[in-house]
Structure 1
C-alpha cells in the first residue's frame, strides 16, 4: 500500500484529501503542528513543524507522495474560524472578519526575504505560509523521494479582487521554485473559493453560493463590478480533494491543474 503524507491534513481541504485518499486505498499520514484531532481513525495524525525538517524527516522517508495543503488567504488567519463557523456566530465574528480584509500597507516597505527570519510578526505572512513552507517541504522530500514522486501543491486560481495581490504572487513564486525540484513530479492544483457540497450551515457555503451567483453573471457581472474585476465560480471541496488524489496515481498529470480543468473533472465524475 502506497503512503501519502498530507501537510495541513486537519484543515478544510486537507481533511477531505485525507478521506479521499483513504477511500482510494492509500496509507495516509496527516501532519500538522498539533497532530490532532483524530478526524479519521484510519489515518495517522503526526505532530511536526514544516519549518523544522528534523521534526518530520522520518515520515518523509516513508512517503510515496506528499501534498502541501497549507497557506492563508489573509494574513490575519482569524478568517478561517469565521468561514467555517455557522451564521449564528457571524455577529461576534465580524470584527475579526473585517480585520482580515485590511490589506498590506504599501507605505510599509516590507522586504519579502524578511519572512525567512521567522520573526513573530512574520509568522502568518503570505511569504512564509504560502511560499516558503512549500519550498522547504519540497526540497526535503526531493532528498529522499523516488524518481518522479508526486508532490501536490494546493495553489489557487486568481479569483478574488478583494485579496492582497501578494497572495497570488507568493503562490506563483512557490510554483516556479517547485517546478525546478529534482526527483519530483510537481502538480499545482488551482481551485477558486471552495465550499462543502454536503450542505453544512457554515458561512463558507453561503459565501460559495454568492461567489457562484456573481461568477455566472458574465457580462452583467462585469457591468456591475467593473470589467477588471474577475469573480470565478466557487467549487466543491470534495471535487478538489478527489482530483488531488487522482493526480497522485496518474503520471500524465504534471504542472498546473486549473480551475477550468477542475470544473470539467467535476462534470465527468458526477
Structure 2
C-alpha cells in the first residue's frame, strides 16, 4: 500500500513540474518547438459567370408587355422583345436595357433569329377587330410563335390569354376562338413547360399617346370587392362577369416567375391563381 501511495505522489509531482515548465511531450525532436501550419494559396482559376436566362417577350412594347420586360430586368434576366413596331416609345431608363426586334409573328422568317439563345418566351400578343382579324392575331400569330419556339428548343412558354366572360365570349367570338386555339397548341407542344395565364380586366396606368389613364382608380376597388365574392363567379351564365380585375404588376410578376421557375406548375392559371401566386415571395 505504501508503494502505491508513493507512486501516485511521484506521478502527481511529475505532472505539476511538466505543467510549470510547459514541456512539450508531443514533439518528436527535443531541440525543436512546434511550428505553425503553413497554408499554401490555391491556384486561382478564372471561371466564366453562370449563363443568364434570356427571356423573349412577344409584344413587349404594349401595356402588359412593358411591365413584363421591366419585371424581368429587375430579376436580373437578359430581355429581348419582338413587336411590329420594334423599339418601345417608353422613355424610362429600363427600356434601354431591352433588345428590341421588329417582326411580324404571321411571318416567321422576319423574327425567328431572335429566338437564338432564348430560354423562355412570354407572349402578350392579342388584339381586337373583326372576327377574322381577332382570330388571326390572338390565334394564328401565337400558334406560329409557339411552334417556332418549340422547334428552336426553348424550354418554357407563357401565354397571356383571357378569362371567360360568359355572354361576352359570343360578342368577341374571333377573339376567344383564337385564344383557345393558341392555348390548345401550347399545351400540345409544351405539356411540361407551357403556362397559360387567364386574367380578366387588367388595370394599371395605361399610356395612350402622351396621356396616362389611371385605370387603377376603378380596377383596384373592384378587385378588393370581387376577390371576396368568389362564389358569385360560380353562378351559371352571369357568374364570369364577377371575375375580379387584376393589377398589371401582378400579371407581370407571375408571368416572369412562370417563365423562369422550373417547378412552376404547367397548365391554366385563372385570375384567382394569378392573385395567389403574385402574393407569394418570388424564388
SS at match of 2:117: coil
Q: Deviations over 1:22-76 (max 9, x none)?
A: 111111111111102253111111111111111111111221111111102x327
SS at match of 1:34: coil
Distance 2:227 2:278 in 1: 17
TM-aligned CA distance change 1:231 to 1:24, over 3 Å: same
Per the alignment, residue 19 of structure 1 pairs with 70
User: Which residue, 188, 194, 201 being the options, matches 1:186?
Assistant: 194
Q: Which 5+ residue runs of structure 2 have no aligned equivalent?
A: 1-51
Matched, 1:68 2:74: no
TM-aligned CA distance change 1:258 to 1:220, over 3 Å: closer
Shift of 1:251: 1.8
Matched, 1:157 2:175: no
Matched, 1:263 2:275: yes
Tell me if structure 2 keeps the 8 A contact 1:160–1:231: no
Tell me if structure 2 keeps the 8 A contact 1:51–1:136: yes
SS at match of 2:125: coil
SS at match of 1:244: helix
TM-aligned CA distance change 1:184 to 1:52, over 3 Å: farther
Deviating 4+ runs (over 6 angstroms):
219-222
Tell me if structure 2 keeps the 8 A contact 1:160–1:232: no
TM-aligned CA distance change 1:268 to 1:181, over 3 Å: closer
Distance 1:21 1:49 in 2: 23
Per the alignment, residue 250 of structure 1 pairs with 261
Distance 2:60 2:247 in 1: 17
User: Which residue, 143, 158, 165 being the options, matches 2:151?
Assistant: 143
Tell me if structure 2 keeps the 8 A contact 1:38–1:45: no
SS at match of 1:257: strand
The structure number with the bigger radius of gyration is: 2
Per the alignment, residue 202 of structure 1 pairs with 213
Distance 1:139 1:191 in 2: 24
Tell me if structure 1 keeps the 8 A contact 2:124–2:159: yes
SS at match of 1:230: helix
Tell me if structure 1 keeps the 8 A contact 2:202–2:247: yes
Matched, 1:7 2:61: no
TM-aligned CA distance change 1:142 to 1:59, over 3 Å: same
Greater displacement, 11-20 / 49-58: 49-58
Distance 2:83 2:238 in 1: 40
Shift of 1:221: 7.7
Q: What is the TM-score when the length of structure 2 is the normalising length?
A: 0.67
Distance 1:180 1:168 in 2: 18
Q: Which has the higher contact order (CA 8 A, sep 6+)?
A: 1
Greater displacement, 182-191 / 22-31: 182-191
Q: Which 5+ residue runs of structure 1 have no aligned equivalent?
A: 77-103, 105-121
Distance 2:213 2:56 in 1: 27
SS at match of 1:179: helix
Tell me if structure 1 keeps the 8 A contact 2:103–2:111: yes
Q: Once superposed, what is the RMSD of the aligned Cα atoms?
A: 3.0
